[in-house]
């Protein structure tokens, strides 16, 4: 078996955790690889082919998983499992103390794989980007609200007067969309969450639509250009009259899931849900 180890570049504690993972895997006869800079620090090989990987293990937070997924989703089908060194971590959900136990489960086949919807966002310049969490249009430097025309399958949904608009995958539903009042969505569902950001009209509420729908969002206000961000990484400046197009990608995000760790448990823990106070 071949594992790619991908620790965060921004968390000092990630390398020691990755070193522990490497030792565990080597004792079990598994071959760990890493990208060149990290491989040198871990004392392992960087000579791997993505298509030969069985798993990708990240050490960091959800951002580490996003960056890794965006890089490898086109190159291989290896599922991702995250060791959580962040604060919240809806995606990176293995606690450091559980690392050896979870690695044993992976090696012994005691896991399942969640296949999650990924989007393709196309900009006016023709460039397309895979979108794992969300595509966001925001008013940027404009002092006033902006108007965005949203079409679903070429049919007008509405022209929203708002601070911005979020198109989120189920994976991204617990990110910016949730903070803006969007719905929680089970990550394996084939749907999209459309969430206006601080809309002028309170009746403009979030909408859940099919993952098979094709969206067009046009910036119609005669104001300064607005910002488009994709997964908080790719950025574009959208001018009046320009639009972005969003549809399901042929790729999908594969995440490892363990039988004793379901999504409802994650929600209860991460969102600190409580039952009766009695």
Question: Is the same domain home to 133 and 227?
Answer: yes
pLDDT score at 277: 54
What is the three-state SS of 47-87? CCCHHHCCEEEEEECHHHHHHHHHHHCCCCCCCEEEEECCC
Residue with tokens 């086109």: 74
pLDDT score at 233: 92
Judge whether 205 lies within some domain. Answer: yes
From CA 71, how far away is CA 59, in angstroms rounded?
16
pLDDT digits (tens, 9 = 90+) for 147-157: 999 999 999 99
Please give the mean pLDDT across all residues of the chain.
Answer: 94
For residue 83, the enclosing domain spans: 2-111+258-270
Question: Is the same domain home to 80 and 197?
Answer: no
From CA 271, how far away is CA 261, in angstroms rounded?
15
Question: Is the same domain home to 183 and 132?
Answer: yes
Note whether 119 and 168 are within 8 A (CB): no
pTM: predicted TM-score of the whole model, two decimal places: 0.93
Residue 168: partners with Cβ closer than 8 Å, 6 or more residues away? 133, 134, 175, 176, 177, 182, 192, 193, 194, 195
Question: Is the same domain home to 73 and 145?
Answer: no
Question: Is the same domain home to 122 and 93?
Answer: no
- Bridge pairing between strands 226-230 and 134-138: antiparallel
pLDDT digits (tens, 9 = 90+) for 255-274: 999 988 888 988 998 888 88
Residue 15: partners with Cβ closer than 8 Å, 6 or more residues away? 7, 38, 41, 42
pLDDT score at 276: 61
Determine which helix (DSSP H) or strand (DSSP E) holds 226, and give its type and residue range.
strand 226-230
Question: Is the same domain home to 264 and 240?
Answer: no
CATH number for position 23: 3.40.50.10330
Question: Is the same domain home to 123 and 197?
Answer: yes
Question: Is the same domain home to 127 and 34?
Answer: no
Judge whether 168 lies within some domain. Answer: yes
Enumerate the active-site residues.
62
pLDDT score at 86: 74
Residue segments in the chain with a per-residue pLDDT below the cut of 70:
276-278
Burial (CB < 10 A; 0-12, 13-18, 19+), residue 146, is: buried
Question: Is the same domain home to 83 and 126?
Answer: no
Question: Is the same domain home to 28 and 107?
Answer: yes
Question: Is the same domain home to 125 and 244?
Answer: yes
pLDDT score at 6: 97
Residue 118: partners with Cβ closer than 8 Å, 6 or more residues away? 73, 130, 131, 132, 169, 248, 249, 251, 252, 253
Question: Is the same domain home to 105 and 182?
Answer: no
């Amino acid at each position: 078996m071949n594992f790619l180890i991908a620790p965060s570049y921004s968390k000092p504690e990630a390398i020691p955790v990755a070193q522990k993972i490497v030792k565990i895997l080597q004792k079990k006869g598994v071959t760990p690889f890493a990208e060149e800079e990290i491989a040198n620090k871990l004392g392992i090989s960087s000579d791997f082919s993505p298509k030969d990987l069985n798993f990708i293990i990240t050490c960091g937070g959800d951002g580490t998983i996003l960056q890794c997924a965006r890089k490898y989703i086109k190159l291989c089908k290896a599922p991702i499992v995250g060791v959580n060194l962040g604060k919240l971590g809806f995606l990176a959900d293995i606690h450091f103390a559980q690392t050896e136990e979870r690695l044993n489960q992976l090696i012994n086949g005691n896991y399942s794989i969640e296949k999650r919807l990924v989007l393709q966002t196309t900009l006016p310049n023709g460039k397309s980007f895979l979108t794992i969490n969300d595509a966001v249009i925001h008013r940027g430097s404009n002092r006033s609200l902006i108007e965005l025309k949203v079409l679903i399958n070429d049919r007008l949904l509405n022209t929203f007067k708002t601070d911005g608009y979020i198109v989120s995958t189920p994976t991204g539903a617990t990110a910016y969309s949730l903070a803006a009042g969007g719905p929680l969505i089970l990550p394996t569902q084939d749907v999209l969450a459309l969430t206006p950001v601080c809309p002028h009209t309170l009746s403009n509420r979030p909408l859940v639509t099919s993952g098979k729908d094709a969206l067009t969002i046009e910036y119609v206000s005669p104001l300064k250009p607005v910002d488009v961000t994709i997964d908080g990484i790719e950025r574009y400046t959208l001018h009046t009259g320009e639009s972005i197009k969003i549809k399901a990608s042929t790729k999908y995000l594969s995440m490892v899931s363990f039988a004793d760790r379901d999504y409802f448990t994650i929600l209860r823990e991460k969102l600190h849900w409580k039952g009766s106070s009695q």
